């Protein structure tokens, strides 16, 4: 393959690089919003994020159809793609850790509320069919066994 063909082929990587940069930026914005306790504002990022994700999947499929990274040689575009991919991966890992932490906090809060409900119900007594006071022997609680 001539040098010009290799250069032309590497230029095909720049749209993928731009897409990865865009995804990195949006996910970083999501992290900022989540850390500043503004999850409602994530909705405004969804259209752009979904579009970038669709573009990313299309460009990765196209890259694989052209023989993968090995077919593009060792030029500057490959180095930039690898560098941006590393940054993207680190942001994804940070995002995943934050989401897991927030999920754990939410689950613990729901459990604490449920425990408090059970505790309160155990303190109340009721009159039975014979007119005597009975303790509530089967308290209920909010229970969510669904993985999100």
Tell me the longest C-alpha to C-alpha distance in the chain: 97
Span 64-76, pLDDT tens digits: 998 888 877 778 8
Task: Tell me if residue 125 falls in helix, strand or coil.
Answer: strand
Query: Is the confidence at residue 53, as pLDDT, over 80?
Result: yes
Show the DSSP H helices in the chain as ranges: 3-11, 14-35, 46-65, 76-123
Query: Is the confidence at residue 3, as pLDDT, over 90?
Result: no
Query: Is the confidence at residue 63, as pLDDT, over 70?
Result: yes
Q: What would the two tokens of residue 122 be?
A: 């155990």
Task: Quote the pLDDT of residue 133.
Answer: 64
Span 90-104, pLDDT tens digits: 999 999 999 999 999
Q: What would the two tokens of residue 24 be?
A: 């990195």
Task: Quote the pLDDT of residue 132.
Answer: 67
Q: Report which secondary-structure segment, H or E, holds 135.
A: strand 133-135
Cα 86-88-90 angle, rounded to 5 deg: 70
CB atoms under 10 Å from CB of 52, counted, come to 20
- CB within 8 Å of 52: residues ≥ 6 apart: 19, 22, 23, 26
Task: Quote the pLDDT of residue 137.
Answer: 54
User: Is pLDDT larger for residue 74 or for residue 86?
Assistant: 86
């Amino acid at each position: 393959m001539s040098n010009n063909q290799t250069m032309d082929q590497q230029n095909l990587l720049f749209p993928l690089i731009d897409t990865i940069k865009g995804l990195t930026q949006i996910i970083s914005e999501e992290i900022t919003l989540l850390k500043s306790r503004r999850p409602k504002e994530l909705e405004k990022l969804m259209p752009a994020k979904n579009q970038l994700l669709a573009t990313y999947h299309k460009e990765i499929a196209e890259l694989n159809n052209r023989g993968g990274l090995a077919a593009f040689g060792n030029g500057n575009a490959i180095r930039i793609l690898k560098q941006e991919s590393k940054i993207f991966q680190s942001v994804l890992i940070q995002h995943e850790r934050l989401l897991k932490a927030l999920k754990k906090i939410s689950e613990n809060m729901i459990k604490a509320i449920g425990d408090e409900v059970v505790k309160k119900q155990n303190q109340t007594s009721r009159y039975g069919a014979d007119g005597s006071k009975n303790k509530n022997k089967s308290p209920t609680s909010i229970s969510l066994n669904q993985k999100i």
